[in-house]
Amino acid sequence: MARLVAGFVLALMAAGAGADELNMRRGVTEISNAVYDLHMYIFWICVVIGIVVFGAMFWAMIHHRRAAGAVAAKFHESTKLEIAWTLAPTLILVAIAWPATQVLVAMYDTGGEDLTIEVRGYQWKWQYKYLDDDYNSEVAYFSNLKTPQDEIHGRKEKGEYYLLDVDEPLRIPVNRKVRFLITAEDVIHSWWVPDFGFKRDAIPGIMNETWAIVPPDKAGIYRGQCTELCGKDHGFMPVVVNAMPEDEFDAWYAERLQQEEVRKEALSKTFTPEELMAQGEQVYGTYCASCHMPNGKGVPPVFPALDGSAIATGPREDHLNIVLNGKTGTAMQAFGKQLDAAQIAAVVHYERHSWSNNTDDVTQPRDVIEHMGQ
Amino acid sequence: MSEVVVAGHDDHHDHGPDKGLARWLFTTNHKDIGTLYLWFSFLMFLIGGVLALVIRAELFQPGLQFVEPGFFNQMTTNHGLIMVFGAIMPGFVGLANWLVPMMVGAPDMALPRMNNLSFWILPFAFTLLISTLFMDAGGPNFGWTFYAPLSTTYAPETVTYFIFGVHMMGASSIMGSINIIATILNMRAPGMTLMKMPLFVWTWLITAYLLLAVMPVLAGAVTMMLFDIHFGTSFFNAAGGGDPVMFQHIFWFFGHPEVYIMILPAFGVVSQIIPTFSRKPLFGYDSMVYATASIAFLSFIVWAHHMFTVGMPLAGQLFFMYATMLIAIPTGVKVFNWVSTMWRGSMSFETPMLFAIAFVILFTIGGFSGLMLAITPADYQYHDTYFVVAHFHYVLVPGALFSIIAAVYYWLPKWCGRMYDESLGKLHFWLSFIGVNVTFFPQHFSGLAGMPRRIPDYALQFADFNMISSIGAFIFGFSQVFFLYIVIKTIRSGKPATDRVWEGAHGLEWTLPSPAPYHSFTHPPKVTDAEAHS
Ligand code: HEM
Ligand SMILES: [Cu+2]
Ligand SMILES: [Cu+2]
């Protein structure tokens, strides 16, 4: 047993040496470094206490064995000792609490930000909204898991960033104080980037606030995951942040602002059925297939099939209605909050013309807008 | 007090147990009910264990192999619920039923009929809970902590069965704890003053008060859920003006004392066993009692350490951090006292002692990770990762569970009059000890490296530790089937045990013959210095 324990301590020491697979990451921000140091500090205090306590125990087990001829002593109390081992831990705790308080106070130093981003958890993806000074959203997009189902189900070899890859990461500039406003749409999620040294719960109806500054020499991609159980695909909603050099970020942001303009124009365009099908397949794959399955068969009775469903082959109003407004009390969400009219039009068109479904209508963005107006 | 004793004496004079099934259905005998509780607890432990092995099988490798994510969540949820409410808690109540009357020199529990009821509720409660796994909508899948709104607006329909089940478990626990309190306060033999009671009795007295205080809070939480789901209220629904965080405050106001409900009786068991096999009185009896009481008190003011990441104000975070750290002090006192009891003793290492020593070491490791988790800024990294899973399994498995196993080896000869096979017991110990560490130690590493808990699939860098962990889990799981074999073998064909059983054992229960007669202490025994703390 002594050897086993020694083995553990050794393994822990290896962890102390900083191997990534064994220990907390140092991370890249000043805060994450402070947290790491705090973690190692408490860890070593625990190791020392452990050596003293377990050392005494093993000494007794070896030397005060009946088999070794030990005769039991009679003592059974000592007020002095009791006081000593109440006071000593108290002092140790003060020595831990002091630096911990300092780090915590530093973490709460919000304000003075250069950029504010709203992070919103959905079942099972993240939405990032870049806010202007009046908290209006300027640029917004979703960040979805990119790992294909084939890799998850072992039909294809798993890639390097298995389960930690998204279609579009959150982009932030280095060297600027980025403030995150964290909330959720449906259930509670938790947004965690280990390299930034914190996680914060995303709670519906509550706006949590936190921040990070990535130092200029630490541009790069940082990966984390949702850390609050949020339903079926909780394990499949990674957090990926791309910390970019400032000029690159600014260029990207300017381009995004322009795309916003184009997107708004698409809302008044008329698409060909082929364009709608192509765009619709993409939207379906990202937003709907996890429940209704790529083949439209769903997972009855929990997630209904769309192939041959009464709604997907019946009046279009009903179809638009459930997609836009969802159905409260079920997993079917109100996608009107997540997708724009062009995407809704495409996915509804796709569902009405895929698998065995074959209605004779074409759904354009303006139909969706009209429906929403009613 | 004496009236109760006399009445009990008249009622039961010369009665033996009924025959057949009726004995178990209608029994009001504390020994029979203790036995029922213990077997029930073991059955739940096996069911909860099978669910755990489903989880570990799925996590053996990255990718989805055996179960779908939705089903995986049902496994984790029901594993947690069954282990906490079905295995550990009834296990300790079973021990209390068997031991408290014998330890304080009482003929039976104070409220024998209620005792029968509080046990017989449990099989119904768990049948209700487990049956949901076979329903179309599936069982509870929102974690044993059932945070709203995942457990309300977004829950499967079967959540109503779950709520009803929790109510039943709560009623059973409340009745059980009232009974234990009444027995300890009213039925002690003359001369058995409070400060002479065995520590197991003390820890259970305090635990019973904790249960009385927090089970109604849990009942309140699930009732509010019920109203949110069926009667249109919005306690926890932000869209209706409610607050999901309030759910967590209420839950953990129950939940943190609950974790002490699962460990205080374990402290009691270990405090009985270590002196016996050290052949030396427990060191610092008084301070053990005070430490237990202060832990119980502190357990009411630390609940939000489970919620450091929900975004409380700075002052709140600091308060809960400091308060949580304080718990380490009385806990430390306990560990130091156990080590001092062993110090300059004359130790031997029979199976109960091995489990008790492993308890002290491994529980302390769980205490260390607990202290680390208490540090708010560091907890931002640890929270909801496998580091937390490692922490609470170290305090619950080699903690609470090992103490129950140790107790069974220690008192089984008194219960059934037969000795277990020492070499099989030792083999069981080593398999369990190795299994538990191989399972849970690597989880510290995967947690620190960033693996979240409650996920059915994980990134590739966590693969090695998960594989090791799964292997350990299967070793541990199968060694508990071996335990079942050892216990049955003992009951059927163990060598007859002496009355004292262990040469170093002190306490009223050891003054009874082995096996303990169906009705014991119908006349209050004389409490001598040799058999009680003095
Ligand atoms: C030195 C004493 C202890 C300290 C300081 C401590 C501290 C903590 C902290 C801070 C957490 C929250 C971690 C997080 O979620 O981020 C936690 C979780 C937990 N602890 Fe402890 N703990 C101690 C002893 C115990 C004991 C004795 C038990 C039960 C026998 C226990 C059972 C649990 C459980 C079940 C959880 C996980 C709850 C969940 O989130 O599902 N702990 N502990
Ligand atoms: Cu999640
Ligand atoms: Cu707690």
Instruction: Give pLDDT tens digits along chain B (534 positions).
Output: 344 444 444 444 456 788 888 899 999 999 999 999 999 999 999 999 999 999 999 999 999 999 999 999 999 999 999 999 999 999 999 999 999 999 999 999 999 999 999 999 999 999 999 999 999 889 999 999 999 999 999 999 999 999 999 999 999 999 999 999 999 999 999 999 999 999 999 999 999 999 999 999 999 999 999 999 999 999 999 988 999 999 999 999 999 999 999 999 999 999 999 999 999 999 999 999 999 999 999 999 999 999 999 999 999 999 999 999 999 999 999 999 999 999 999 999 999 999 999 999 999 999 999 999 999 999 999 999 999 999 999 999 999 999 999 999 999 999 999 999 999 999 999 999 999 999 999 999 999 999 999 999 999 999 999 999 999 999 999 999 999 999 999 999 999 999 999 999 999 999 999 999 999 999 999 998 888 876
Burial class of B133 by CB neighbour count within 10 A (0 to 12, 13 to 18, 19+) = middle
Alpha carbon distances (Å) from A251 to A172, A292, B274: 12, 38, 70
Q: What is the CATH number of the domain that holds A308?
A: 1.10.760.10
User: How far is CA B270 from its chain centroid?
Assistant: 14
B262 Cβ inside 6 Å of ligand 1: yes
Tell me if A50 and B455 make a contact (CB, 8 A cut-off). Answer: no
Token pair, residue A289, equals: 């297939």
User: Span A49-77, mean pLDDT?
Assistant: 92
Kindly state whether residues A119 and A255 are assigned to the same domain: yes
Kindly state whether residues A120 and A248 are assigned to the same domain: yes
Kindly state whether residues A290 and A226 are assigned to the same domain: no
Token pair, residue B377, equals: 């800024």
Q: What is the CATH number of the domain that holds A32?
A: 1.10.287
Cβ neighbours for A42, distance < 8 A, ≥ 6 positions apart:
A96, B371, B372, B375, B378
| Euclidean distance between CA atoms B65 and B75, whole angstroms | 15
| Euclidean distance between CA atoms B267 and B288, whole angstroms | 9
Cβ contacts of A25 on chain B, cutoff 8 Å: 449-450
pLDDT at A9: 55
Kindly state whether residues A330 and A226 are assigned to the same domain: no
Residue A15 forms part of a structural domain: no
Cβ contacts of B344 on chain A, cutoff 8 Å: 60, 64, 70, 72-73, 75
pLDDT at B72: 96
Kindly state whether residues A136 and A257 are assigned to the same domain: yes
Inform me whether the C-beta atom of residue A163 falls under 8 Å from chain B C-beta atoms.
yes
Our count of domains for chain A comes to 3
CA B299–ligand 3 middle distance (angstroms): 8
pLDDT at B384: 97
* Min Cα separation A16/chain B (Å): 11
B306 Cβ inside 6 Å of ligand 1: yes
In the residue annotation, B108 being an active-site residue is answered as: yes
Residue A330 forms part of a structural domain: yes
SS (H, E, C) B82-106: HHHHHHHHHHHHHHHHHHHHHHHCC
Which of A52, A90, A165, A234 to mutate against chain B (most B CBs within 10 Å)?
A234
User: How far is CA B88 from its chain centroid?
Assistant: 3
CA B70–ligand 3 middle distance (angstroms): 27
pLDDT at A11: 58
Kindly state whether residues A100 and A36 are assigned to the same domain: yes
Instruction: Select from B83, B299, B369, B388 the residue to mutate for testing ligand 1; criterion: most ligand atoms less than 8 Å from CB.
Output: B388
Torsion of Cα atoms, A17 then A19 then A22 then A24, to 10°: 80
Inform me whether the C-beta atom of residue B153 falls under 8 Å from chain A C-beta atoms.
yes
Inform me whether the C-beta atom of residue B249 falls under 8 Å from chain A C-beta atoms.
no
pLDDT at B7: 41
Torsion of Cα atoms, A152 then A155 then A156 then A161, to 10°: 10
User: How far is CA B385 from its chain centroid?
Assistant: 23
Burial class of B19 by CB neighbour count within 10 A (0 to 12, 13 to 18, 19+) = exposed
SS (H, E, C) B419-444: ECCHHHHHHHHHHHHHHHHHHHHHHH
Task: Report the chain A residue with the minimal C-alpha distance to residue B308.
Answer: A200
| Euclidean distance between CA atoms B213 and B215, whole angstroms | 6
Inform me whether the C-beta atom of residue B316 falls under 8 Å from chain A C-beta atoms.
no
Kindly state whether residues A103 and A125 are assigned to the same domain: no
The residue annotated as part of the active site, out of B35, B152, B203, B271, is B271
| Euclidean distance between CA atoms B137 and B154, whole angstroms | 12
Residue A72 forms part of a structural domain: no
| Euclidean distance between CA atoms B439 and B56, whole angstroms | 10
Please give the residue range of the domain that contains residue A279: 269-372
| Euclidean distance between CA atoms B236 and B253, whole angstroms | 16
Sign, CA dihedral B492-B496-B499-B502, equals negative
Residue recorded with tokens 């553990």: A8
Of A209, A232, A265, which residue constitutes the final position of a domain?
A: A265
Residue A348 forms part of a structural domain: yes
| Euclidean distance between CA atoms A31 and A33, whole angstroms | 5
Kindly state whether residues A168 and A139 are assigned to the same domain: yes
Atom of ligand 1 nearest to the CA of B382: 16
Sign, CA dihedral A26-A28-A33-A34, equals negative
Alpha helices (H) in B157-284, listed in sequence order = 159-186, 199-230, 244-261, 264-278
User: Rounded to two decimals, what is the model's pTM?
Assistant: 0.87
CA B176–ligand 2 middle distance (angstroms): 37
B149: preceding bond cis by omega (within 30 degrees)? yes
Each residue of A126-167: pLDDT tens digit?
Answer: 999 999 888 888 899 999 999 998 999 989 999 999 999 999
B326 Cβ inside 6 Å of ligand 1: no
Tell me if B321 and A104 make a contact (CB, 8 A cut-off). Answer: yes
Of A200, A230, A265, which residue constitutes the final position of a domain?
A: A265
Which phi and psi (to 5°) does residue A306 adopt?
-100, -25
| Euclidean distance between CA atoms B334 and B263, whole angstroms | 12
Inform me whether the C-beta atom of residue A34 falls under 8 Å from chain B C-beta atoms.
yes
Residue A299 forms part of a structural domain: yes
Burial class of A369 by CB neighbour count within 10 A (0 to 12, 13 to 18, 19+) = middle
Q: Which of A42, A158, A205 sits opposite B62 (nearest CB)?
A: A158
Residue A260 forms part of a structural domain: yes
Inform me whether the C-beta atom of residue A16 falls under 8 Å from chain B C-beta atoms.
no
SS (H, E, C) chain A: CHHHHHHHHHHHHHHHCCCCCCCCCCCCCHHHHHHHHHHHHHHHHHHHHHHHHHHHHHHHHHHCECCCCCCCCCCCCCHHHHHHHHHHHHHHHHHHHHHHHHHHHHHCCCCCCCEEEEEEEECCEEEEEEECCCCCEEEEEEECECCCHHHHCCCCCCCCCCCCCECCCEEEECCCCEEEEEEECCCCEEEEEHHHCEEEEECECCCEEEEECCCHHHCEEEEEEECCCCCCCHHHCEEEEEEECHHHHHHHHHHHHHHHHHHHHHCCCCCCHHHHHHHHHHHHHHHHHHHHCCCCCCECCCECCCCCCHHHHCCHHHHHHHHHHCCCCCCCCCHHHCCCHHHHHHHHHHHHCCCCCCCCCCCCHHHHHHHHHC
A29 confidence band (pLDDT: 50, 70, 90): very high
Cβ contacts of A111 on chain B, cutoff 8 Å: none
Return the amino acid letter for B496: P
Token pair, residue B423, equals: 């070499």
Token pair, residue B287, equals: 């301070």
How many other C-beta atoms can be found within 10 angstroms of the C-beta atom of residue B436?
23
Kindly state whether residues A261 and A277 are assigned to the same domain: no
Token pair, residue B502, equals: 């262990």
Token pair, residue A283, equals: 């939207």
Of A246, A265, A284, which residue constitutes the final position of a domain?
A: A265
Sign, CA dihedral B269-B271-B272-B275, equals positive
Task: Report the chain B residue with the minimal C-alpha distance to residue A104.
Answer: B377
Q: Are strands B418-419 and B495-496 parallel, antiparallel or unpaired?
A: antiparallel
Kindly state whether residues A252 and A279 are assigned to the same domain: no
Q: Which of B311, B448, B454 sits opposite A229 (nearest CB)?
A: B454
Residue A301 forms part of a structural domain: yes
Burial class of A98 by CB neighbour count within 10 A (0 to 12, 13 to 18, 19+) = exposed
Cβ neighbours for A206, distance < 8 A, ≥ 6 positions apart:
A183, B238, B243, B244, B245, B311
Token pair, residue B424, equals: 């099989």
With b for 16 or more beta-carbon neighbours within 10 A and e for fewer, the B51-71 pattern comes to bbbbbbbbbbebbbeebebbb
Instruction: Select from B76, B207, B306 the residue to mutate for testing ligand 1; criterion: most ligand atoms less than 8 Å from CB.
Output: B306
Kindly state whether residues A253 and A158 are assigned to the same domain: yes
Each residue of A78-133: pLDDT tens digit?
Answer: 899 999 999 999 999 999 999 999 999 999 998 889 999 999 999 999 999 999 88
| Euclidean distance between CA atoms A156 and B163, whole angstroms | 42
pLDDT at A14: 52
Residue A197 forms part of a structural domain: yes
Token pair, residue A355, equals: 């698998």
Kindly state whether residues A231 and A246 are assigned to the same domain: yes
pLDDT at A301: 83
| Euclidean distance between CA atoms B310 and B386, whole angstroms | 19
Q: What is the CATH number of the domain that holds A213?
A: 2.60.40.420
Report which bound ligand comes closest to the CA of B395. 1
